[in-house]
Amino acid sequence: MKLFRSILLVVHFVLLFLLCGVLLNAYIPPKVFWGFSFLSLGFPLIMILYVIITFFWIFSWKKRAFFFMFAGLFFLNPTKRWLNYSSENKETPNLKIVTFNVKSGKWGKNEIQNYINAQKADLVFLQESGPDYELDHLKAEETLQIICFYSKYKILDRKDIFKPLTEKDVTSQCEQIDIEIRGKIYRVFNVHLQSFGVVKDMVKLDGNGNEDEKKMKDLVKKLIPTFKVHQEEIQLIRKSVEESPYPVIVAGDFNAVPNSYEYYQMSKVLKDAFFETGKGSGTSFHDFKYPLRIDYIFTSETIKPIHYSVDHSAHLSDHFPVIASFKIE
């Protein structure tokens, strides 16, 4: 038993070390060291194991439990970015937003269209939009290849801020759009960061050592270059946000998890609506049966989140729709 506890203690310190590595994504970009990006993907599993072993020390009446409990407090906010517990906000919202990667409508265009119409949103951000959708009382006007923005309000200006990058990869798109809401101008960004191009068969291990090893190597070869491209893309978005003379809303599919470099870059200049007011799991991509939150809504300080939900009952795409309401002046 003593040997088992010694091994478990070493494992616990390793997990703590890995969790600290996740936090370094806030400071170290993928082009400098991409390993921390992998840790952000594994954060839920690492955190679960850390908590389980902490409880083991508690039930074993070991003093070391106090150390690991105290150290675990540093990871409350990183955990809230995946699984939140905000109290209910009683204020009345006056702006409703839906962001949804609809997977080109492959799971049913009419069903998707009916679902979005039922939300009665003021702004709709679609990614991998595919066919045009007829949304009640909302206008799309111009649209890019894989993203589309629908608004109840007047659109004043539009700009493709990824234009220099889209020649490399058509899955990378971000449109900057100025809209007028009740006499005030807001700048919104519809985002789709570069896809990893990973499908279920690539991450499903079948027990064959050689084939599984090849799958893992191929997966790493896909992930590392994409992490580095994301660095360029998110820096462009952040620069545009910081230069905006208007309050900002950034929504869409970031193809990046919480506590990643991409997430920290956005959260340094904008609020994460889920972190502010979300409840339960923020998981928005369900195809891999693993908790992946990759769809977000970020806002300026003057735009107050009131309610945020991921509709896990809507199986209309490999993503779940994100629905949020806000209070603006």
Write down which residue in 44, 62, 80 finishes a domain: 80
d(CA 272, CA 256) in angstroms, rounded, equals: 14
Are 193 and 122 in a shared domain?
yes
pLDDT (tens, 9 = 90+) of the chain, 329 residues, equals: 788 888 999 999 999 999 999 999 999 999 999 999 999 999 999 999 999 999 999 998 888 999 999 999 999 999 999 999 888 888 999 999 999 999 988 888 999 999 999 999 999 999 998 768 888 888 887 677 789 999 999 999 999 998 766 555 667 899 999 999 999 999 999 999 998 776 555 555 555 556 656 666 767 777 899 999 999 999 999 999 999 999 999 999 999 999 999 999 999 999 999 999 999 999 999 988 888 999 999 999 999 999 999 999 999 999 999 999 999 98
Count of structural domains within the chain: 2
Scanning 155-269, the segments in alpha helix (DSSP H) are 200-203, 209-243, 261-267
Q: Indicate if 97 and 56 belong to the same structural domain.
A: no
What pLDDT does residue 169 have?
A: 61
The answer to whether residues 173 and 149 touch, using CB atoms and an 8 Å cutoff, is no
pTM above 0.95, yes or no: no
User: Within 13 Å, how many C-alpha atoms sit on residue 241's CB side?
Assistant: 26
Give the Cα separation of 238 and 248 in Å (integer): 11
Domain with residue 289: its CATH number is 3.60.10.10
Judge if 52 and 126 occupy the same domain.
Answer: no
Q: Are 213 and 230 contained in the same domain?
A: yes
Domain end marker among 24, 53, 80: 80
The domain boundary, picked from 62, 80, 98, lies at 80
Are residues 281 and 180 part of one domain? yes
- Together in a domain, 6 and 92: no
**Does 284 lie in the same domain as 232?**
yes
Co-location of 75 and 92 in the same domain: no
What domain range is 33 assigned to?
Answer: 2-80
